[in-house]
Structure 1
Amino acid sequence: MKLSARNQIKGSVTEIEKGVVTAKVKVKIDAPIVLTAVITKEAAEELKLKVGDKVQAIVKATEVILGK
């Protein structure tokens, strides 16, 4: 699948926490960082996500805010 978003980060699913409506999916990327995505439970089930799956986190935002 090709996407217009340029911020695509490859990683592996390390944890999935399913709630009634949403699923919290933790993705470990190359750096010692874990991204957390909150998606619908239905989407997690349709993607058949499981721990160890290789995924791409795609970030599409209108702005990025940095703080120091």
Structure 2
Amino acid sequence: MKLSARNQISGTIVAITPGAVNGSIKVDIGSGNIVTANITEESIHELGLAKGDTVTVIVKASDVMIGK
């Protein structure tokens, strides 16, 4: 799959927390860093996501915020 998004990070799914509409996917991208994505339950099932799967985290945003 080719995408125009340049921010692509490979990782491993370490947890999936289902919800009523959206589920939470935690992806270990290495060095103790975890990225969390909230996606629809429909997408989780269509992609066949499961703990231990190798996936690509794709970040495409018009705004990126940092707080301290």
TM-score w.r.t. length of structure 2 = 0.92
Identity %: 50
Q: Report the Cα offset of residue 67 of structure 1.
A: 4.5
2:36 equivalent to 1:44: no
What is the TM-score normalised by the length of structure 1?
A: 0.92
Unaligned runs of at least 5 residues, structure 1: none
Deviation at 1:63, TM superposition (A): 2.7
What is the alpha-carbon distance in structure 2 between the residues aligned to residue 45 and residue 19 of structure 1?
Answer: 13
Match of 1:22 in 2: 22
RMSD after superposition: 1.1
Q: Which runs of 5+ in 2 are unaligned?
A: none
- In structure 2, what is the equivalent of residue 7 of structure 1? 7
Mapped partners of 2:41, 2:49: distance in 1: 10
Query: Aligned residue pairs: how many?
Result: 68
1:15-45 deviation line (CA, Å, top 9, x unaligned):
0011111110000002211100000000000
Equivalent residue, structure 2, for 1:59 = 59
